[in-house]
Amino acid sequence: MKKKVKITIEQALNSYIKMVGSSRSENTARTYTNGMNLFSQQLEVRLLPIHSTPITYLPEDAISWFAANLKVYAASTERLYLTAVYGFYEYLTAENIITPNLSRIRLLIRQRARRPGVRFPQFPREDIDVVIKYAINLVSGSFEDNAGRLRNLRDRAFILTLADTGMRVHEACKLQRGDIDWHEGRGIIIGKGNQQGVVRFSRRCLKALREYLTARGELDGASGKPLASLTLFARHDKGAGKHIKPITTKTGRKIVEQRVSEAIGADAIGSITPHSFRHYFVTTVLSSTGNLKLAQELARHKNISVTQRYAHLSNDELDRGYEEIFNE
């Protein structure tokens, strides 16, 4: 009979993090990695060095130790990190490495974890309006070279895409030319949780995209690839040269940082992120229509309670009612 190879906690952790990295989004993988690093530190404090302790020595109560040391974090972060560690126990069970009592671990989490309170989305709407207007005018000046012109055309289209579709930054960065139905003004994307979704594009957004792609036509044609397979937003730097390479989410964030700094000032960097444009989108839909279900569907929120967090920002009826009662 073949002897079962003993593995350490560290080896099991590395295998779990690798699995998460290959099956979940980049953001989820990063969050889980951060959570597992903190969990590892807690095990070390409890005299369970992960590099030498067999995984069979990992106790269920470690989740309680971990929860007790997460109170310095926001309740929502605490929940995310506990979910990551619970996923580790599930992974160990599925891989038949150890067989912890998952029901007991869930109970320990329920007893020890705080419930995150409802937080209203905060974002500088007026400043975002300024950034959008600035982006629209990005192509009105002169340029040192064609790459600079392409960057401005791309950044205008990118910012309008974020503002007018409500897409998350990683969704926008992964778009290909063939994902958009130019006649219908719609696009098929793979969104959060690997779920397929439909987004709508405004006329001004489609116009900006067409102008960008027209200016990029020579590069696209020289790529030797079908146009539909090419990335929608490409790099235009020395590293990319004349090749069509997709921008990363990091580049997407840098685009927003740069244009925010130019439009408002360096002090505004960080106050407006790519996700701020998603908040802007949902609030714009609600303030224009008052239709919560419509806003939910357009934003692709799985749970309407997420959309409801924005309702206080656009409920004109409540504002008028308050004015009539207290200010007349």
Active site residues: 168, 192, 275, 278, 301, 310
- Name the DSSP letter for residue 54: B
Q: At what angle do helices 249-263 and 146-165 cross, to 10 degrees?
A: 90
81-116: burial string, b at 16+ Cβ within 10 Å, e else: bbbbbbbbbebbeeeebbebeeeebeebbeebbeee
Q: At what angle do helices 292-299 and 274-289 cross, to 10 degrees?
A: 150
Q: What are phi and psi of 271, to 5 degrees?
A: -80, -25
Query: What does 187-224 look like in DSSP terms, one character per residue?
Result: EEEE-GGG-EEEEE--HHHHHHHHHHHHHTHHHHHHT-
Query: What does 124-140 look like in DSSP terms, one character per residue?
Result: -HHHHHHHHHHHHTGGG
Helix (H, G, I), strand (E, B) or coil at 65: helix
| Alpha helices for the chain (secondary structure H) | 9-23, 26-45, 62-68, 75-94, 102-112, 125-136, 146-165, 169-173, 203-215, 217-222, 249-263, 274-289, 292-299, 304-308, 316-326
In DSSP terms, which residues pair with 8 in a beta bridge?
Answer: 54
CB 233, CB 157: distance < 8 Å: yes
Rounded CA separation 83/304 (Å): 22
CB 170, CB 156: distance < 8 Å: no
